[in-house]
Chain A
Amino acid sequence: MTLESKATEHGLGEQGVWVLILGDLLIFSLFFLSLIYYGHLQPDIYARGQARLDFPLGLFNSLVLITSSILAALGLEAVRSGSAKGGGFFAAAMLCGLSFVAVKTIEYAEKMHTGVTIVSSEFFTFYFVFTGIHLGHVVAGLAALGLIRRAAEAGPVDAPTLALIESGVLFWHMVDLLWVMLFALFYILEWR
């Protein structure tokens, strides 16, 4: 048995989650543009700050978040097809999300251990604030994944529950989407 979403008139999930997503995307746009604006004024400070970031850890976190996204997407497909595997996919996505949180915490701790804090330079103010806000989104996304995992494992899913599961998965994809640009701007872009 397959279950089709009734929410096709506004895409996946509940309409409200799209309002949340579009609002978040706009706010993060301002974050990205302010980082570029100030980085362009003092590229040397930003280049020095970037050199102190751990590129392999940032890359690892990117790979982990992309993998968690596909696991969540496969979980949704499993729920739609009536398969019992949905909960397992969501649990695996949560594990990836927890890895992201753990690695980010290690990164923060390592920075602070070497005397780098939020007030060390303008670059690190942006770094800690923007990645910190994103980390808050990851934690909220993990809570959402936990809820939808329980819903998926509770048994047959009706249309309203499916819309809720879709909403949680959408939020998780948005977290992944925002990290793509954060990773590019903080870890890869050469400031000059």
Chain B
Amino acid sequence: MTIVFRNRRLVLCWACLIALTLASFKSGPMSRAADAELFQPIFVILLAGFKMRMIAMEFMQLRTAPVLLRFMIEIWILLLCVAILLMLFRA
């Protein structure tokens, strides 16, 4: 029962990741709608960070891992996204 539930959760996570990746068309170079200068980089980096967190939590099973390990990976993703955005928007 637990296995079935976990597999459903994995498939749901995969479907979300596929949908979010396809959504990158909306902000990618093939889109004509991507003219919002300020928000495009924020959207792209936050979307990538969210996808990375999903992979870490669900596929790498950090959701059930020791707190320290989970904390390290989550902080790494957060710091990476913040650092990238700060560097992109520096004067």
Binding site for B on A (CB under 8 A): 2, 8-12, 18, 22, 25-26, 29, 32-33, 36-37, 40, 50-51, 55-56, 59, 62-63, 66-67, 69-70, 72-74, 77, 80-81, 170, 173-174, 176-177, 180-181, 183-185, 187-190, 192
Contact of A32 among B3, B24, B84 (CB under 8 A): B84
Give the number of residues in B that approach A within 8 Å (Cβ atoms). Answer: 47
Interface contact B17-A32, CB-CB below 8 Å:
no
When distances are taken between beta carbons in the complex, the residues of chain A under 8 Å from B7 are 74, 77
Main SS of chain A's interface residues? helix
Contact of B60 among A59, A77, A170 (CB under 8 A): A170
Instruction: Output the least CB separation between B16 and chain A (Å).
Output: 10
Instruction: Output the least CB separation between B61 and chain A (Å).
Output: 5
Tell me the bound Cα distance from A37 to B84 in angstroms.
Answer: 9
When distances are taken between beta carbons in the complex, the residues of chain B under 8 Å from A18 are 69
Query: Could you jot down 18 A-B contacts, CB within 8 Å?
Result: A2-B3, A10-B66, A11-B60, A11-B66, A11-B69, A32-B80, A32-B84, A59-B25, A59-B28, A66-B17, A66-B21, A67-B18, A173-B59, A177-B56, A184-B24, A185-B84, A189-B41, A190-B40
| Per-residue interface assignment for chain B, residues 50 to 91, with 1 indicating a CB less than 8 Å from any chain A CB and 0 otherwise | 011001101111101110010011001000100110011010
- Residue among A9, A174, A176, A184 having the largest count of chain B Cβ atoms under 10 Å: A184
Query: Which residue of chain B lies nearest to A192 when distances are taken between CB atoms in the complex?
Result: B37
Tell me the bound Cα distance from A55 to B80 in angstroms.
Answer: 24
